[in-house]
């Protein structure tokens, strides 16, 4: 065999090895990001508890509504089993809120918003997003999740009837999910959408993540090849702004100015694309990713509840916070102290003159 043929074979073998390595890298890249999120260890669960506190989640609240809480499952368009936690009112009201959590989180992470809805008379569906605990499949990153949300909405309308009023809430990946769904000509039962720190497109989000990790932008091409092979769509297709441009539903957007996971600019871009005649953007100064509520509870709660009260007929505060009963001895002491203060005040009071005093 001539030398040039040997050299050609060697080059071809080298190129083939590079191609195989590139392909394996692409698949590993996609699996690491969009593969199924692993169940947490006990140690990780404890750590997660501290993280929950960071976002204002009060897990103890679920115990107070346990009597009217149930689990539900449906089958997605591709056969994946999807789960949800349903928290119902003691009496039906015809109002339902659907909450979609973010990437790497659990359905319990939307407890704050679920409680706000529940306290205003809503039944609440807390969805377990695909690829996360409670549902099967791999992570949909909003692009696939919009079809799952559509299945849940069909189920709700079937169960509650055509007169049901539905509000949608999503945070991070879940926020991009509800915006995508809202731009797919949703049924008239959907009355409004609340989006919290969602991204404008998968491309924008992954570029931001590469930048934060100090990785070159060219890695996006590697990821895109793996995405096509594993999930069957291109990264450049998964653009939530295209759906926002078709929206007509009232929409409320929240985003923290110090968000280092989904940059503030991506939330602004999604809002700017939204074609809804009635929309509002709440910028929470200094808030990190998913921390708009804990950073400014009053601002967040006021905007959130005013929005749903305006767009969902019958929405009003129906579950008031339970005040702890005062200690009887302390109550008696307080009463006695008030009486003493009143007596002392009466003794020290001076009747003002009816005319100016003479100097």
> How far apart are alpha carbons 129 and 108 in whole angstroms?
11
* pLDDT in the model for residue 34: 82
Structure tokens at 103: 């990437």
Nearest to 289 by CA among 145, 174, 146, 143: 174
Q: What is the pLDDT of residues 30-82, one digit of tens each?
A: 677 788 887 655 555 566 566 677 889 999 999 999 999 999 999 999 999 99
Nearest to 251 by CA among 234, 275, 232, 227: 275
pLDDT of 357 > 60? The answer is no
For residue 163, the SS3 value is coil
Q: How far apart are CA 52 and CA 177, in angstroms?
A: 22
Q: Are 291 and 254 in contact (CB under 8 A)?
A: no
Please tell me the distance from the alpha carbon of residue 72 to that of residue 85, in angstroms, as a whole number.
6
What the block records as the tokens of 30 is: 């996609």
Q: Is the pLDDT of residue 213 over 70?
A: yes
Checking if the pLDDT of 95 tops 70, the result is yes
Phi, psi of 134 (to 5 degrees): 105, -15
342 burial (CB, 10 Å; 0-12 / 13-18 / 19+) is exposed
What 3-state DSSP class applies to 121? coil
Residue 90 · residue 35 · CB < 8 Å: no
Percent of the chain at pLDDT exceeding 70: 77
pLDDT at 48: 59
Instruction: Reply yes or no on whether the pLDDT at 328 is more than 70.
Output: no
Q: How confident is the model at residue 358 (pLDDT cuts 50, 70, 90)?
A: very low
DSSP track, 202-267: HHHHHHHHHHHTT--TTHHHHHHHHHHHHHSS-TTT-BHHHHHTT--S-EEEEEETT-TTTTHHHH
Q: Quick: pLDDT tens for 151-182.
A: 999 999 999 999 999 999 999 999 999 999 99
- pLDDT for 219: 84
Mean pLDDT of the chain: 86
Q: What are phi and psi of 77, to 5 degrees?
A: -60, -25
- Most confident range, picked from 18-32, 38-52, 120-134: 120-134
Give the C-alpha separation, 224 to 233, whole Å: 9
CA distance 282 to 292: 9
- Residue 211, token pair as written in the block: 């930048």
Q: Please tell me the total number of residues recorded for the chain in this structure.
A: 359
Report helix, strand or coil for 287: coil
| Of 15-19, 317-321, 329-333, 340-344, the least confident | 340-344
Distance of alpha carbon 15 from the chain centroid: 45
* Residue 350: per-residue pLDDT: 32
Helix axes 264-273, 202-212, angle to 10 degrees: 170
């Amino acid at each position: 065999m001539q030398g040039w043929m040997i050299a050609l074979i060697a080059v071809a073998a080298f190129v083939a090895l590079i191609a195989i390595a590139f392909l394996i890298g692409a698949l590993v890249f996609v699996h690491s990001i969009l593969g199924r999120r692993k169940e947490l260890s006990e140690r990780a669960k404890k750590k997660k508890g501290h993280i929950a506190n960071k976002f204002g989640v009060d897990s103890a609240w679920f115990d107070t509504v346990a009597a009217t809480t149930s689990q539900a499952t449906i089958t997605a368009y591709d056969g994946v089993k999807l789960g949800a936690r349903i928290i119902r009112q003691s009496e039906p009201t015809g109002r339902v809120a659907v909450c979609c959590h973010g990437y790497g989180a659990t359905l319990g992470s939307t407890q704050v918003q679920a409680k706000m809805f529940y306290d205003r008379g809503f039944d609440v569906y807390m969805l377990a997003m695909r690829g996360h605990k409670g549902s099967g499949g791999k992570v949909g990153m909003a692009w696939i999740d919009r079809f799952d949300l559509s299945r849940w909405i069909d189920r709700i309308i079937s169960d509650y009837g055509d007169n049901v009023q539905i509000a949608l809430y999503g945070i991070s990946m879940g926020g991009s999910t509800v915006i995508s769904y809202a731009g797919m000509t949703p049924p008239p039962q959907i009355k409004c959408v609340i989006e919290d720190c969602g991204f404008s497109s998968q491309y924008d989000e992954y570029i931001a993540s590469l930048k934060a990790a100090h990785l070159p932008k060219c890695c996006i091409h590697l990821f895109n090849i793996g995405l096509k092979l594993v999930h069957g769509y291109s990264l450049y297709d998964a653009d939530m702004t295209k759906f926002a441009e078709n929206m007509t539903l009232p929409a409320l957007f929240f985003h923290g100015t110090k968000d280092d996971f989904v940059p503030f600019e991506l939330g602004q871009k999604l809002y700017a694309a939204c074609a809804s005649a009635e929309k509002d953007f709440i910028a929470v100064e200094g808030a990190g990713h998913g921390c708009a509520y804990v950073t400014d509870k009053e601002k967040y709660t006021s905007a959130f509840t005013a929005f749903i009260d305006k767009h969902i007929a019958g929405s009003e505060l129906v579950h008031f916070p339970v005040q702890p009963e005062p200690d009887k001895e302390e109550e008696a002491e307080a009463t006695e102290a008030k009486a003493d203060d009143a007596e002392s005040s009466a003794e020290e009071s001076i009747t003002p003159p009816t005319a100016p005093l003479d100097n």
